[in-house]
Amino acid sequence: MDDAHSAADQAYSRSTPNKNPNPNPKRSLILASQQQLEDRAYYVQLWRAVTRLSISRRAWRERLADMLRDYQGELLYAPGVPYQIPFVDDIFGNDHDMRWMGYYLKADVSGNHPLIISRHLERLRLLDLYVRIYQDMSE
């Protein structure tokens, strides 16, 4: 692994809120903050985690909706304020073909970094949440 990958992986690991070691599915997850989502290293690591899932751009809308519907725990902002679960359709709007997701998933010429940097924080927050819930379920 090159230094760029290593630095991004370490930054993501450090900035990802601590996992609860309790296997109880009714646990709480702290959402990524705006500062985390705007951090370049965190963004790159999130992009890598999302692209490793190999989910087609069109399947993401349903996957995110299923995740929000099926998660049994609490979703909280960092100070413990409950997250008001949004409708995925409200977050992605009229993008029924998930074109934004297609652009988000594209890599630059190196293949190691995202082609674009998106500032759609709520979309990024849902992707981050999906990755962290998916990782917890698979561990």
Q: How far apart are CA 120 and CA 139, in angstroms?
A: 29
Each residue's pLDDT, cut to its tens digit, for the chain (139 residues) gives 455 454 445 444 444 444 433 334 568 899 999 999 999 999 999 999 999 999 999 999 999 999 999 998 999 998 889 999 999 999 999 999 999 999 999 999 999 999 999 999 999 999 999 999 887 655 5
pLDDT value at residue 131: 94
Q: How far apart are CA 136 and CA 19, in angstroms?
A: 8
Burial of 23 (0-12, 13-18, 19+ CB in 10 A): exposed
- Nearest alpha carbon to residue 89 among 62, 113, 114: 62
pLDDT value at residue 137: 57
pLDDT value at residue 45: 96
Largest CA distance in the chain: 42
**Residue 44 phi, psi dihedral angles, 5° rounding:** -65, -45
Q: How far apart are CA 90 and CA 6, in angstroms?
A: 35
Q: How far apart are CA 7 and CA 10, in angstroms?
A: 5
For the entire predicted model, the pTM comes to 0.79
